[in-house]
Amino acid sequence: MREKNNIKIINAMHEMNQMFTRNLLLSVSTVLLLTCFDLSRIYMNQTQTKTTSTSINDDLSEAQSEEMSSVPPPKMKMQLGPIIKFRYCQGCGYQNLFKQFSELVRTHYPNMAVVGENYPPQPLKAFLARLVSMIKMALLVCLLFGQNPFTLLRIPTPRVYSWALQNKMYACLMIFFLSNSIESYLIATGAFEITVDDVPLWSKIDTGRIPSSNEFVQMLQTFNPNKDMNDFTRLHS
């Protein structure tokens, strides 16, 4: 009787373990697939010019909207301040740095328009990153559903893949983090490029560093919009 009870307990624990593993695999697979979808969508959009933010002072925008009906388009264009554009590596964590520099521009030069966009990687690296992402998604789907693509291709199954089929959870996590590291390395440009009206102001690729706040403000004095506005007012007074 004790042996039968022990067998029943072991079977019950085994079934509970299988149910827990299935639920865990389902949760992990859902998270991984959603993350892969988001990453693939980001890579597809990196080849296109993507504006991440454009900020203009509210008072200037209201004044321009009021003058649109009375001021001819050429004059209105002359009254607009310079446009400063930041092209930076989003995968390098420069988003917060872009926000800090944008605040400096709005504080010292409120008439300037601020535009930020991603600095795209080289076409070959972008293609390789998308290829790695697609391979990652295919491997995750095959592992989660217990499929062996090597049998369809009539290729001997590698021992690594056989181990992955027997240890799905660990294999999926390893593939996910390893492929993400490779993708991040491929798309990382380390760029933080600054231009004013398409005139280069600073290039981290050329200098190897990011300017300090004081350097940045001093460089912008060349494109002082307040000075341009005063000159324009004196000429037309």
pLDDT tens per residue, range 28-86: 555 555 565 555 555 554 444 344 444 444 444 444 454 444 545 444 444 467 899 99
Q: What per-residue confidence (pLDDT) applies to 5?
A: 62
- The pLDDT value given to residue 191: 94
Where are the domains positioned within the chain? 31-235
Pick the closest to residue 55 from 11, 121, 112, 134 (CA basis).
Answer: 112
CATH of 31-235, one of 3.40.30.10, 3.30.420.40, 3.40.50.720, 3.40.390.30: 3.40.30.10
Residues 6+ apart with CB under 8 A from 198: 85
Q: What is the dihedral of CA 176, 182, 186, 190, to 10 degrees?
A: 90
- Please give the pLDDT value at position 77: 44
**Regions of the chain where pLDDT drops below 70:** 1-9, 11-80, 224-237
pLDDT score for 166: 92
